[in-house]
Amino acid sequence: MDVDARVRTDPAGALLSLHDVEVRYPGATEASAQDISFDVRSGRTLGLVGESGSGKSTIGRAVLGLVPISAGSMSYRGEDISHRDQRVSRRLSAHLQVVFQDPYSSLNPNRTIEQTLVEPLLVHSALGSREMRDAAAEMLAEVGLDEAALGRYPAHFSGGQRQRIAIARALIVGPELVICDEAVSALDLSVQAQVLNLLKRLQADRDVTYLFISHDLDVVRFMAHEMVVLRRGEIVEHGAAEQLISAPKHPYTRRLLASAPVPDIERQHRRREAARSFAED
């Protein structure tokens, strides 16, 4: 591991902290993620970036408690959540939510939008049925959809609209931390921009924290305050997003930058030439 990759923020001010976390799936000869250490500060966005198989989604699933960790520790607001039981997981779900990649499979096609949005409130609130409907309508308005959507089914909406509904479902209980796992990668570029701007606005309005997982460096650059670059399950670089992208230190980060599509052909050529020179160093 690169020395710079292990520099961490002040854990006392962190919402979420991972320290030397390892995830090893049963029967696997190698860990899917190992020696993972970083902090996510409240009201900020930390981006996890890397190619397919880099371990970024595995880390997100570990934070959510969907896969167990085999070594290391995780804490949320100072509470150890490394090996949480069902009671702790249920309590945490009010504070920790997720927006998945596929807006088509993440919503139950047999439930109306109202049923989808109200479901978390049934678990985490004491609201009456009318109050829950009002809360669902208000949340839809926050993500740019009309109250009339409540009575409709997911099949009636486009991919971008479905992802707005998924975001509404994640935020309706007022979580502190939302994991966005490739949340815009299945969307057209123009729709991606709309959803990313929506996520930024909601962060400013609600002071929500994001752990933003993506293979797209440009998307992470737009969203994240800090960035963690992963390769084959290990952190190779970690730092302020803008600084890391403008002056990457690790050859893998440089290769990611050089391979990222950009509209300016001349700029893309310069990136490739730079990557070639880095490889020769």
What's 222's domain CATH number? 3.40.50.300
Q: For the chain, give the percent of residues with pLDDT over 70.
A: 88
Q: How high is the pLDDT of residue 17? A: 97
> CB–CB of 116/107 below 8 Å?
yes
Q: How confident is the model over 264-281, as pLDDT tens digits? A: 444 444 444 544 544 444
> CB–CB of 8/37 below 8 Å?
yes
Tell me, yes or no, whether 129 and 201 share the same domain: no
Tell me, yes or no, whether 83 and 12 share the same domain: yes
Q: How high is the pLDDT of residue 102? A: 86
Tell me, yes or no, whether 168 and 110 share the same domain: yes
Tell me, yes or no, whether 90 and 10 share the same domain: yes
Tell me, yes or no, whether 198 and 90 share the same domain: yes
Whole-structure pTM value: 0.86
Burial of residue 35 (CB within 10 Å: 0-12, 13-18, 19+) is: middle
> CB–CB of 131/185 below 8 Å?
no
> CB–CB of 185/99 below 8 Å?
no
Which of 174, 194, 226 represents a domain boundary (last residue)?
A: 174
The sheet that has 234-240: what strands, in order across it? Answer: 96-99, 177-181, 209-214, 45-49, 226-231, 234-240
Q: How confident is the model over 168-203, as pLDDT tens digits? A: 999 999 999 999 999 998 888 889 999 999 999 999
Tell me, yes or no, whether 18 and 56 share the same domain: yes
Total structural domains within the chain: 3
What sign for the dihedral angle of Cα 213, 74, 41, 225? negative
Could you tell me where the DSSP H helices lie in 75-157? 86-92, 113-124, 129-142
Neighbours of 166 (CB within 10 A): 25
Tell me, yes or no, whether 140 and 278 share the same domain: no
Burial of residue 86 (CB within 10 Å: 0-12, 13-18, 19+) is: exposed
Residue 8: give the domain boundaries: 1-95+176-241
Q: How would residue 63 be classed by pLDDT, with cut points 50, 70 and 90? A: very high
Tell me, yes or no, whether 13 and 88 share the same domain: yes
Residue 47: strand, helix, or coil: strand
Tell me, yes or no, whether 148 and 43 share the same domain: no
Of 10-14, 26-30, 117-121, the poorest mean pLDDT is in: 10-14
> What rounded mean pLDDT belongs to the chain?
88
Joined together, the tokens standing for residue 53 give 């198989």
Q: How confident is the model over 92-112, as pLDDT tens digits? A: 999 999 999 888 888 999 999
Q: How high is the pLDDT of residue 28? A: 82
Tell me, yes or no, whether 231 and 193 share the same domain: yes
